[in-house]
Amino acid sequence: MADIPLYQLDAFSERVFGGNPAAICPLDAWIDEALMQSIAAENNLSETAFFVPAEVDGKDGYALRWFTPTAEIDLCGHATLASAWVVFNRLAPGRTSVSFSSCSGTLTVEAEGDLLFMDFPVYPRAAAALPDVLAAGLGATPAEAFSGPNWMVVLDSAEQVRALDPDMAAIASAHPRCVIVTAPGGRDGDGDYADCDFVSRFFAPSYGIPEDPVTGSAHCTLTPYWAERLGRKRLEARQISARGGVLICEDRGDRVGIGGRASLFMEGSIRV
C-alpha cells in the first residue's frame, strides 16, 4: 500500500463549486498506467492529472499526463491550470513560472497574481460541412462549422448555445473527436453575456464526459477564430455549462494564452 497526495481544485473559477473540478496527483516517479486510469475512474471527474519532476527545456519542471474516467487524453487545460496552482502554492511556494512536458509539447504556466496564464498550441481548423448525425444530435443549424481535432460549431446567439439539449449518443458518434459549440457574447451590449466576447459549451460523451464544465483546450481552437472575427487579440470568454467558467484568452500567433483562476476544494491523500 502507498499514499499518493491528492488535490481537488475548481479551475477557471474564483470560488469553489464553480468552474471545472480537477484532481491532481503529484508523484515522485510514475506509477503503473493502469493504476492511474483506475484512480481517474474512481475520482470520476472530467480529468485527473499526474505529474513527476522532470527537466523541461533545460530547467526544473514536470512531466504531465491527463486521464478522463475512461481514457488518457493528449491535452487538458483546466487540469494543467490546477497542476500549476499546486506547484505554486504547495510544492514550491513563491515560484511564479513552471513548464510541463507533455504529449502536446512544452506547456508553460505563468502566475500574474492569482491569475494563471497557460501557453498552449493553436489547434488548426478548416471549414467543413457538419455531418448530418451531429447536426441532428445538436438540434441546431450551424452558421458555420469547422473540422479539426474537435468539431467546432458556430451558432448565431449565446441564447441558442445555452438552450442546447444534445442527443449524447449522436454526439458520441464523432469519436475520437468532441464537439465545441460557440456563439458571440454581448460585449458592449445588454443581456446575460454583455461582459464577454464569446461563449461556448463542450461535449465529450465518448470519453465519459457528456458535458465538460469548462474546457481550456477547446480555446486552442476558439481563440484564433474569435480573435480574427472580432479583431481583438485579448478576449474574455465564458463557458456556459451549468457550473460555468471564465477564461481570458490571448491570440499569440501560433500559440494561445489561456488564463484563469483556481479555487482549492480539497487536499489529502489516497491509499492504493
Instruction: Let me know if 47 is a catalytic residue.
Output: yes
C-alpha cell at 213: 464544465
263 closest CA partner among 49, 6, 7, 9: 9
Rg (CA), the chain: 18
**How far apart, in Å, are the Cα atoms of 74 and each of 65, 131, 177, 226?**
8, 24, 12, 24
For residue 267 the three cell numbers come to 487536499
What is the separation, in whole angstroms, between the first and last Cα of the chain?
Answer: 5
Rounded to the nearest angstrom, the gap between the alpha carbon of residue 108 and the centroid of all alpha carbons in its chain is 15
CA distance 79 to 23: 7
In angstroms, the CA 77 to CA 83 distance is 10
Check 14, 33, 47, 159 and give the catalytic one: 47
User: Long-range contacts: 226-234, Cβ < 8 Å, 24+?
Assistant: 226/182, 226/184, 226/197, 226/198, 227/251, 230/184, 230/197, 230/198, 232/197
Give residues with Cβ within 8 angstroms of 106, minimum separation 6. Answer: 56, 57, 99, 100
Q: So which residues are the catalytic ones?
A: 47
